[in-house]
Amino acid sequence: MNTAIYQARRAELARRIGPNGIAILPTAPEQQRNRDADFLFRHDSYFFYLCGFAEPKGWLVVQGDGRSTLFCNPKDVEREIWDGIRLGPEAAPAALGVDAAFSVKDLDAQMPGLLDGRDAVWFPFAIHKGLESRVDGWLGGLRARVRYGTLTPETQRDLCGPLDEMRLVKDASEQSTMRRAAQISAGAHIRAMQLSAQMLREGKEVREYHLDAELLHEFRRHGSQYPAYGSIVAAGANACVLHYRADAGLVRDGELVLIDAGCELDGYASDITRTFPANGKFSGPQRALYELVRASQEAAVAVTKAGARFTDPHEATVKVLSQGMLDLGLLDRNKVGSLEDVIEKRAYFQFYMHRTGHWLGMDVHDCGAYTEPSEIGNKTERKDALTGETLISRPARILQSGMVLTIEPGIYVRPAPGVPEQFHHIGIRIEDDAIVTHSGCELISRGVPVDPDEIEALIRG
Ligand code: GLY
Ligand code: MN
Ligand code: MN
């Protein structure tokens, strides 16, 4: 492990919380699945970001003077026979570059001493159940000894603030891991596309789970630990259910398949969506809608660069999609009016009801403020055209090199009066992962193509 990266992150956090601050951060809890079986353990992303330690039960304490202390499971021969090797506090300083390490059993005994004399205690708010009362207990213990000269921190601060800002801009090592994750996922999408058409050609029954199995196989054989989120494999009309999961739906010749799936690699997510013809050939109406979504994605990609606002790609997408909805007759000009009216009244929402992207990183919907920190006081109020609700908005985040976001326009056509029948039940999304650069963005997920001709050729091949 490259401990220098984690040491540098802890040093940066120390700088941000000030010389007399102290940060407390547990990893994720283990979660029961049923009876005595647990869900597969996944570390907490903030915790892993700061120390690269993936075992359960860990706690990290970072002091404003730069000193860091890890609490972890102690060595235990009997438990290790059942659950696997533990690093243990004796080996932790050398392995992780922390200054000190103790058994997690010593946490309650050590924490008051670590908190004594600090002015502010930082921990993540509203994430870990029971953390606040745990901190209260340590502070209470400290206060009880005030007559012996202890000093209790007077301020509690949300540790997510500084950590979200740090995680928002990905360093070179994070970008390199994310490139590899996206490359693995792209290969998995290609395999699923090819399998679908091949099985149909062979006259086999194809189910969504066949394609899901192909994705998982490709993820794992390249060393990915698990999918970064529940894979969506949606055949035909299922694509119009935004949070559909890979299930047992029949993949029919002549229908589209929407796959939204990405692997997690060494703690980093990828998030790719492709929509393709199950048999390898787009029909006319499918292609018309596909080309529209693709054009809207291109417009979004073209405005994604350092200095642009986070909302610019969404606005570019909405413009192209809305125009296309009018041109293809999904929206009736006589009813909804001009392009400006469609955008102003959000009439496009009938077929495009989600945003065009989100931050991507350790978490698939990664942390980081979507409003520009230097402009938070600059808020405006407006009435939403669809719901009539009063909404408060603040200037959107200005993109910087090294931020990573998805660009994922879509179109979802549910049958409704006036909607041309040829488009009914078609759901299309195209999603790519973009690293913002000075002059544009690097699409790290294009190992799987988006061009419909290339997709057809790839499936036939
Ligand atoms: N797969 C989750 C998303 O696209 O946001
Ligand atoms: Mn996404
Ligand atoms: Mn996705």
Query: Which ligand is closest in space to the CA of residue 258?
Result: 3
Over 90: is that where the pLDDT of 112 sits? Answer: yes
Which of 200, 273, 287, 205 lies closest to 242 in space, CA to CA? 273
Residue 442 pLDDT: 98
Whether ligand 1 lies within 6 angstroms of the CB of 271 is answered as: yes
Q: How far apart are the first and last CA of the chain?
A: 40
Distance CA 288, CA 324 (A): 9
**pLDDT per position as a tens digit, 11-51:** 999 999 999 999 999 999 999 999 999 999 999 999 999 99
pTM: 0.97
From ligand 1's centre to the CA of 406, what distance in Å?
9
Q: What is the DSSP letter of 136?
A: H
Task: Determine the average pLDDT of the residues in 455-459.
Answer: 97
Whether ligand 1 lies within 6 angstroms of the CB of 364 is answered as: yes
From ligand 3's centre to the CA of 231, what distance in Å?
8
More confident residue, 388 or 207: 207
Over 90: is that where the pLDDT of 111 sits? Answer: yes
Indicate which residue of 15, 365, 382, 460 is catalytic: 365
Question: Is 253 a residue of the active site?
Answer: no
Strand partners, 393: 380
* Residue of 365, 428, 430, 445 with the most ligand 1 atoms within 8 Å of its CB, for mutation: 365
Residue 158 pLDDT: 98
For the CA of 358, the nearest atom of ligand 1: 5
**pLDDT per position as a tens digit, 411-437:** 999 999 999 999 999 999 999 999 999
State the span(s) of the chain assigned CATH 3.40.350.10: 3-166
Which of 249, 207, 276, 228 lies closest to 427 in space, CA to CA? 276
From ligand 3's centre to the CA of 157, what distance in Å?
33
Whether ligand 1 lies within 6 angstroms of the CB of 408 is answered as: yes
With beta carbons less than 8 A apart as the criterion, state whether 392 and 380 touch: yes
Question: Is 412 a residue of the active site?
Answer: yes
**pLDDT per position as a tens digit, 172-225:** 999 999 999 999 999 999 999 999 999 999 999 999 999 999 999 999 999 999
From ligand 1's centre to the CA of 416, what distance in Å?
26
Tell the residue nearest (CA) to atom 4 of ligand 1.
271
Residue 226 pLDDT: 97
Distance CA 291, CA 282 (A): 11
Residue 386 pLDDT: 84
Question: Is 260 a residue of the active site?
Answer: yes
Question: Is 36 a residue of the active site?
Answer: yes
Q: What percent of the chain has pLDDT over 70?
A: 100
Whose tokens are 């102690």? That residue is: 74
Residue 104 pLDDT: 98
For the CA of 273, the nearest atom of ligand 1: 4
Amino acid in position 119: D
> What class has domain 3-166?
alpha beta
Distance CA 215, CA 73 (A): 34
Residue 318 pLDDT: 98
With beta carbons less than 8 A apart as the criterion, state whether 95 and 87 touch: yes
Whether ligand 1 lies within 6 angstroms of the CB of 214 is answered as: no
The 3-state secondary structure of 322-386 reads: HHHHHHCCCCCHHHHCCHHHHHHCCHHHHCCCCCCCCECCCCCCCCCCCECHHHCCCCEEEECCC
Over 90: is that where the pLDDT of 385 sits? Answer: no
* φ and ψ at residue 33, rounded to 5 degrees: -95, -55
From ligand 3's centre to the CA of 238, what distance in Å?
15
**pLDDT per position as a tens digit, 307-363:** 999 999 999 999 999 999 999 999 999 999 999 999 999 999 999 999 999 999 999
For helices 107-115 and 131-143, the axis angle rounded to 10 degrees is: 60
State the span(s) of the chain assigned CATH 3.90.230.10: 169-460
Whose tokens are 């200037």? That residue is: 395
More confident residue, 388 or 138: 138
From ligand 3's centre to the CA of 35, what distance in Å?
32
Question: Is 424 a residue of the active site?
Answer: no
User: Residue 9 region, left (φ>0) first, then alpha (ψ -120 to 50), else beta?
Assistant: alpha
**pLDDT per position as a tens digit, 394-406:** 999 999 999 999 9
CA Rg value for the chain: 25
Tell the residue nearest (CA) to atom 3 of ligand 1.
271
Whether ligand 1 lies within 6 angstroms of the CB of 41 is answered as: no
Mean per-residue pLDDT of the chain: 97
Indicate which residue of 397, 429, 432, 456 is catalytic: 429
Domain 169-460 of CATH type 3.90.230.10: yes
Residue 279 pLDDT: 97
With beta carbons less than 8 A apart as the criterion, state whether 285 and 428 touch: no
Task: Determine the average pLDDT of the residues in 2-12.
Answer: 97
Over 90: is that where the pLDDT of 384 sits? Answer: no
For the chain, what percentages of helix, strand and coil (3-state, to nearest 5) are there? 40, 20, 40
**pLDDT per position as a tens digit, 52-87:** 999 999 999 999 999 999 999 999 999 999 999 999
